[in-house]
Amino acid sequence: MQTEIHDALWLDHSQRVSISDLVDLSGLSESEVHELIDSGALAPVNEAIPWSFSAQCVVTVRTASRLRHELELDSHALVLALTLLEQIRALETELAQLRAQMPSFGRF
C-alpha cells in the first residue's frame, strides 16, 4: 500500500491571505483565482482592502483546484460547483444547530 503525503496547513480564521498566497497554496493560476473573485466564489474580507482574504479561502481555492483538475471543469461549472458546495456546508451547519436545540424524544 502506498501512502500519499499532502501539504498540511494550519488555518487560523483570523489570519488574512493575499492573492499570491492563494495562487501559491492552490496550484491555480492567478487568472483563475481572479475569475473566482470576479464570479463571487471568493470574496475579500473587507471591501476597503480588496486583496485581503480570510484563511478559509485557502480551502475554497484548494477545492477549486482539485475540482478543476480531477473533473476538468470549465470556469462556469467550477463556480457553480463551489457555490453548491458552500450551500451544502451552510445547510449542514444549520441542521446541526437545529438538532442541538431539539429535545431528546423517546429517550428514557
User: pLDDT digit of tens for each residue in the chain (108 aa)?
Assistant: 555 545 555 555 667 888 889 999 888 999 999 999 999 888 888 777 667 888 889 999 999 999 999 999 988 999 999 999 999 999 999 999 988 888 765 454
The model's pTM is 0.72
| Helix, strand, coil abundance in the chain, percent, nearest 5 | 55, 5, 40
Cell numbers at 82, concatenated:
463551489
Looking at domain 16-101, which of 1.20.1740.10, 1.10.1660.10, 3.40.50.620, 1.20.1250.20 is its CATH number? 1.10.1660.10
Where do the domains of the chain lie? 16-101
> What's at 79, amino acid-wise?
V
Residues 40, 46, 50: CA angle, nearest 5 degrees:
65
Q: What is the pLDDT of residue 77?
A: 93
Distance CA 107, CA 1 (A): 44
pLDDT tens sequence across 51-74: 788 888 999 999 999 999 999 998
Cell numbers at 52, concatenated:
485581503
